[in-house]
Chains A and B, each alone.
Chain A
Amino acid sequence: MAALWPLPLLLSQRLWACLALTLPEEPHDGPPSAGFDAGRVGPSVDLPGALRVFSLDYHHVQAPFEIVLWIMLASLAKLGFHWSGRVPAVVPESCVLIMVGLLVGGVVYGVRHSAPPTLSADAFFLFLLPPIVLDAGYFLPGRLFFENLGTILWYAVLGTLWNVLGIGLSLYGVCLLVPDSLGDISLLHCLLFGSLIAAVDPVAVLSVFQEMHVNEQLHILVFGESLLNDAVTVVLYKLFESFLRLPSVTGLDVLVGGLRLIVVGLGGFFVGLFFGLVAALTSRFTSRAQVIAPLFVFLYSYLSYLTSEMLHFSGIMAIVTCAVTMKQYVEANVSERSNTNIQYFLKMWSSVSETLIFVFLGVSTIQDIHMWSWPFVCSTLLLCLVWRATGVLLLTAVVNKLRRNAVTFRDQFIIAYGGLRGAICFSLVFLIDDFPKKRLFITTTIVVILFTVFVQGMTIKPLVELLDVKRKKRALPTVSEEIHSRVLDHLLSGIEDVVGYWGQHYWRDWFEQFNKRYLRRFLIGEHHQARSSILRVYQELERREQQGGEEAPPPVDPRPGGRPLLPEEMDSIRRILSRNLQNFNKKQTPAYSRHTLHQDGSAKTALHRHQSLPERHTCSRSALCPQRAQGEFSKSYRGRARLSRSHTVCSASPRRSDPPDSVDPAALNPTQPSDPEPAAEEQQSPLHRAPVERATKKQLSFVLERETHQ
């Protein structure tokens, strides 16, 4: 089976690492003997003196070597998972990774007879969590998120509070019922445990929901809740922890705790906002050093996370706010290639992080320090499910009265069932101050996490299909949809204006105006124009189609983004064109170095304001065009200027010396009509050019195809 081949590889790697780990612990002998040296391991040619032809020094590279080995293990496991036939359809990736972790942990335990390295809370919170949250925040569907923000906050804040108090108090009840084994767990301990176990984990939710493709509203509700409940979790956890250290708890402390919640949430928000705006401003000036533009995105986001952790605010909120804030400005300011870089790096890092987290979850399960108690563990599991279900039901009943689209019962079920716990609970439980029953808490947390990830993670996909939950529509967004959406938006805000009602559309409009008048002017460089969403969708579609030929079958890509579906009749033409463009690219790409990129950038802006892909190559492609300046081909170019492809193939046209009356799109003033004919004839000309265009499109494709064969 294809699944088996990575396993020997993994095992051999791990064994090597284990052996390497164990070796330095051997007692060092005194004088160097033949072949062994204190601190050097392995055979070496024995020569008089200290010269060695071959020696091995593991200590020197131990730390980075082991880190790389772990990352390699995780990535190979992921690779193996995707190559293993039918497994991905049944088992979510997180489950497989945990199982690999369990296996490796078991092997290490067996070899060394002591616990394998565990995931330290610091490493998790400082290094592994931020990339995932940043990736989630950067690709958050902004509009959908803000439309549902009220509901999301409702679930995140009130839902988490409900869960925490419910689980904590019920667990205390259970402890009271079984006083012999659980009698020394106080109420505060139960509440503390409740606070860390109740929170839905964004990492686990992301990894499971991504493969499910449920409708966007449901996805954003579950996912948004898992992101925003971090604030509540952080506050409650720290609150109960500090209560545990205080001699007594008064009502005032509880009130302070409530205030703290607001401070933590808003503090995280404002820290993120600040760093997001600074990042946007910085990106405005990166046109001369394009290579490091992506770095600013990462640095500022990470800085916002660290700053808010330093101030004990909610780091997740900070980083999400930062990403959401800076995204539109950075995308406008930074070149196309850098945008792609940012996206790919984000995906890569978050993917690695997530894989590592799950593998370590598996490894850390193999511990010496488990303590088991049937009533506690089972009741925790049961209570988690019950309280979440009732919480979701109650809250939705209230919030449906205020929403436009009600959350259906099926959606509610998925929201309740999709409340997965993950590595955040795990790290938090390790951070508790030591007390007699801490090991019980750790064991219970691990059991809950494994249960939710395995049982709920594996069954949620069949359940979604069984219940016929509305799925995501996979088709490409079309330009007409975008146009109609925008028209409807304007219509509705117009109606709200007429009625004098300050509804959602009013506020959205207000923000757009504010954005346009102040923020964009300040944060976006002069030569980057503001783009309407219609234009953005249109250009995105164009860019995707051009790149459709370039990108071979996409590599293992866990993030959503299936291949877009193109209309059949345009498909072949576009593919031919993009394939030919790719060949152009390959033939004529000058080699470039880091230091000369900015010169390309300035050439780009002189030529075009269209943000199309192979703009750099228009200069070089112009060499081809003058040769084609005969008869029908020149007409075809002129005709094609009306079409979507024009700005890539015919961008050469401004540089040609011949027909000056032909379309000169972007180099000039936008308000200048590029059409030499008077406006009155405009109505006829597009109409009667359409058949010409369609014919010339096919001609052009043959031209280009012939070129490639030369």
Chain B
Amino acid sequence: FYRTRTRTRTQIKPDSVNSVISASAAHLLRLHQRFQFLDKDSRGSLRSEDLEAALSENPIGVRIVGAFFQQETVDFPSFVRILAHFRPTEKNRTRDGVQPDPAVGRKCPSSVAFQLYDQDRDGKISRTELLQVLREMLGLQVTEEQLQSIAERAIQEADLDRDDAICFDEFRKSLEKVNIDHKLSVRFLE
């Protein structure tokens, strides 16, 4: 589970990071360079403004930052830890032979996606939350009425217990066909 500790020419402490995830030194170095690039004021930690600046073109950029990088300041180990959620799954498991500790390892991919919608963390996606996401993504392309009907339809499709909101199980069910495990992996941490 623990990779050999490697020394890098930066100020990160290999132990703190390597104890969390297993990753090669080259990747960590690259991530650290990126971290330093994003950290415009060179304070050693990222604020949400820095991250939002990086995601300025993304329609749900603010939402991503809010969902994942919640702390006020994000230091490098936390940065890596959060990004570790997006590692490819197979490699993770087969290499170790043992499932990484879920507390520090990958979260279930559906819950990663669920976090994006559910901003008030009440465990359900209400109609307003869905509408907000739709509005951010579709923007000026549609009328308000169309947005409402799309949201209405989406809820009708997924909402099985008729409470006009999508709870986590219903969400996971509607994601069955979307191959989420495979989709939710970025090949940068291997």
Contacts and interface: CB of A to CB of B under 8 A. Distances in A.
A567 B59 CA distance: 32
Interface in B110-160: 112-113, 116-117, 127-128, 130, 133-134, 137-138, 140-146, 148-154, 156-158
Nearest to A480: B154
Given A492-B183, A501-B186, A670 B142 contact: yes
A493 B57 CA distance: 10
A666 B90 CA distance: 48
A530 B138 CA distance: 10
A642 B153 CA distance: 11
A488 B184 contact: yes
Contacts of A498: 34, 38, 51, 54-55, 83
B184 A670 contact: no
A631 to B, nearest CB: 23
Interface residues of A, number: 58
B187 A534 contact: no
Size bin of chain B's contact surface: 35 or more
A484 interface: yes
Most buried by A among B60, B140, B143: B143
Give the interface SS of chain B, mostly helix, strand, loop or mixed: helix
A486 B152 contact: no
Interface in B1-44: 31, 34, 37-38
Contacts of B153: 479, 538, 644
B144 A495 contact: no
Contacts of B186: 492, 495-496, 499, 501, 503, 505
A492 B51 CA distance: 14
A478 B179 contact: no
Contacts of B127: 683, 686-687
Contacts of A491: 60, 64, 112-113, 116, 184
A59 to B, nearest CB: 61
A503 B55 contact: no
A661 to B, nearest CB: 14
B185 interface: yes
Contacts of A13: none
B152 A535 contact: no
Given A479-B157, A495-B86, A675-B144, A643 B152 contact: yes
Given A483-B134, A484-B178, A642-B152, A535 B88 contact: no
Interface in A470-523: 473, 475, 478-481, 483-488, 490-501, 503, 505, 509, 513
B161 to A, nearest CB: 14
Most buried by B among A487, A673, A675: A487
A140 B152 CA distance: 31
B107 interface: no
B138 A480 contact: no
Interface in B155-184: 156-158, 164, 174-175, 177-180, 182-184
Contacts of A666: 143
B128 A479 contact: no
A486 B183 CA distance: 11
B83 A499 contact: yes
Interface of A: 404-406, 473, 475, 478-481, 483-488, 490-501, 503, 505, 509, 513, 529-532, 534-535, 538, 567, 570, 610, 641-644, 646, 663, 665-666, 670-671, 673-675, 683, 686-687, 690
